[in-house]
Structure 1
Amino acid sequence: MDTTFKGQVALVTGGTKGIGKAIADTLSSKGAMVLVTARTAPEEIIENQHFIASDLTKPESAEGIAKEILDKYGRIDTIVNNAGANLGPGGGFSTLSDEDWYNDWELNFLSVVRINKALLPAMIEQKSGVIINISTGAARQPIWDMTMSYSSAKAALNVYSKALANELGPKGIRVNIVSPGVVKTPLMLEFIENIAKTSNSTTDDAFKVIMDKVNVPLGRMAESEEIAKLVAFLASPDAKYITGSNYFIDGGASPTV
């Protein structure tokens, strides 16, 4: 049995589906007690996991999550800020309302800031901890007609993460970023289906449009478990000298090194 995280407490936001579920399952399989947040409960309760119902777009949710974790477990060792989604409509700047911009920034940036702010005092007191913020390759390579508001929020997340790593390094806390490319998740499959409907095409054609825009040399979407393995490594003692870094896991889609 892998006991890498035995005795540790981890939080995974958006942890009931897709990448978040894969991360939560991987950390709990390695011995961590994993607190999972989402708006709806998971279909099944996994051993070493505890579900907290929460809507992270509500400003007060972060304090409630932090209180429940610290009251019940007394510590927090790892925070994986995974919750996020491309909420804005496609079509470029003219289709995006103020509300569209606000919604993407609320979920993909401000919710992360609030969660970290609520839990960091406990990490600072412990003089140890790991924060991993899940970003996206689209923050570096935005698709103007698909991800404009989403990409901008995630780009802000990247800058914030680097600044936070610089501030917290002397306090024994590491902060890193994981930037997936195209990943086979329920949200991504729904996104592809919506493109197919609006363009009156097949899902295969819609998928090809995305892959052509992103240009993935490996020619396929990533599996959620592949992202989870990288996150688990960065959270582990094997990565104890890594902080302030952004790891792209995108099948080679990033055009630069």
Structure 2
Amino acid sequence: MSVHFRVDPTEFADKRVVVTGGTMGAGEAIVKRFAGAGARVATAARNLPEAPVTGVTFVKADLSTEDGVARLAEHALSELGGIDIVIHSLGGSSTPGGGFRAATEEFWQQELSLNLLAAVRLDRLLVPQMLERRQGVVIHVASIQHRLPLHDSTTPYAAAKAALASYSKSLSKEVGPSGVRVNTVSPGWIRTSAADRMVQRLAESGGIDEDQARQGIMDALGGIPLGRPAWPEEVAELVAFLSSERAASIHGADYVIDGGTVPTL
């Protein structure tokens, strides 16, 4: 089950878009949303997808490394001739349950490289050509965990996403006067395969079943007033709106899409 929206096939015609993390979850939905609206899209993954999206260029690269980011940037600029929109949807957590004691140096480095430095490095390579043209859009997909961290297993992830949100705000203040818009999207719990894997990991480390692990996440979040997690397509729709001319005056903002999970303003 998922949701579907009617898409104007010309909405992003002639736009050149790079999406990180575009082979699964919200990233995959974002790739399909832009491709379906006429954009030329490039994305990267460690392994090429089994079912490539028509019109999308896939680059085999590990974006948690400098070399992988450089490979994507070089390929995208060469193939597309320039980039109009950059969407950083790459992210995830592999840290096991057990709180801060279980978060070893290795896990901290992994989470920071994946959830923060991949965006920083790619922006450094792609935003300058936007500044030269005095137009462009950058969207960083963070997480409500930069406000509402789950201490049992995702402290490094939450800290990296908090850093990403802070970096995004700083970048917006720097490049906004030159015509480049920067915003952050902070999803809550999204119904993805990665979320399911986190539930399995917590169940295994805690010696409980998956229903208990899932309820534990809900309890730690304080519940979802809307009664369900967001679908990846809903996140993609918000990203598309913020990337469009309809959002031409929205800049330096953080848009939360969490079904009401964050209990404060």
Q: TM-score, normalised by structure 1?
A: 0.97
* Among 204, 212, 215, the residue aligned to 1:205: 212
Q: Deviations over 1:131-161 (max 9, x none)?
A: 0001000110111112111101110000000
2:176 aligns with: 169
- CA shift, 1:68, in A, is 1.1
2:238 aligns with: 230
Mapped pair 1:110 → 2:79? no
Matches of 1:33 and 1:153, distance apart in 2: 30
SS in structure 2 at match of 1:232: helix
SS in structure 2 at match of 1:46: coil
- CA shift, 1:238, in A, is 0.3
* Among 63, 76, 85, the residue aligned to 1:69: 76
- CA shift, 1:42, in A, is 1.1
Mapped pair 1:23 → 2:30? yes
Matches of 2:75 and 2:101, distance apart in 1: 42
Matches of 2:214 and 2:149, distance apart in 1: 17
- CA shift, 1:60, in A, is 1.8
Matches of 1:62 and 1:230, distance apart in 2: 25
Is the 1:31–1:48 contact (alpha carbons within 8 Å) kept by the matching residues of 2? no
Is the 1:192–1:207 contact (alpha carbons within 8 Å) kept by the matching residues of 2? yes
Q: In terms of mean alpha carbon deviation, does 138-147 or 159-168 score higher? A: 138-147
Map 1:155-166 onto structure 2 (within 5 A): 155-166=162-173
Mapped pair 1:97 → 2:104? yes
1:87 aligns with: 94
Is the 1:133–1:177 contact (alpha carbons within 8 Å) kept by the matching residues of 2? yes
Matches of 2:45 and 2:238, distance apart in 1: 22
Matches of 1:229 and 1:22, distance apart in 2: 9
Runs of 5+ consecutive residues of structure 1 not aligned to the other structure: none
Q: In terms of mean alpha carbon deviation, does 214-223 or 21-30 score higher? A: 214-223
- CA shift, 1:204, in A, is 1.7
Matches of 1:61 and 1:172, distance apart in 2: 28
1:10 aligns with: 17
2:5 aligns with: none
SS in structure 1 at match of 2:163: helix
Q: TM-score, normalised by structure 2?
A: 0.94
Q: In terms of mean alpha carbon deviation, does 88-97 or 133-142 score higher? A: 88-97
Name the aligned partner's letter for residue 87 of structure 1: S
Matches of 1:18 and 1:233, distance apart in 2: 18
Matches of 1:253 and 1:98, distance apart in 2: 30
Matches of 1:229 and 1:184, distance apart in 2: 15
Matches of 1:126 and 1:53, distance apart in 2: 28
Name the aligned partner's letter for residue 147 of structure 1: T
SS in structure 2 at match of 1:60: helix
Q: In terms of mean alpha carbon deviation, does 117-126 or 226-235 score higher? A: 117-126
Matches of 1:100 and 1:47, distance apart in 2: 35
Matches of 2:9 and 2:65, distance apart in 1: 36
Matches of 1:196 and 1:62, distance apart in 2: 33
Name the aligned partner's letter for residue 257 of structure 2: I
Name the aligned partner's letter for residue 45 of structure 2: A
Matches of 1:159 and 1:107, distance apart in 2: 16
Is the 1:135–1:179 contact (alpha carbons within 8 Å) kept by the matching residues of 2? yes
Matches of 2:204 and 2:155, distance apart in 1: 20
1:181 aligns with: 188
Runs of 5+ consecutive residues of structure 2 not aligned to the other structure: 1-7
Matches of 2:252 and 2:97, distance apart in 1: 32
* Among 213, 218, 223, the residue aligned to 2:226: 218
Mapped pair 1:36 → 2:43? yes
Matches of 2:58 and 2:168, distance apart in 1: 26
Q: Deviations over 1:166-199 (max 9, x none)?
A: 0010111000000000111111001111222222
Map 1:133-172 onto structure 2 (within 5 A): 133-172=140-179
1:250 aligns with: 258
- CA shift, 1:75, in A, is 1.1
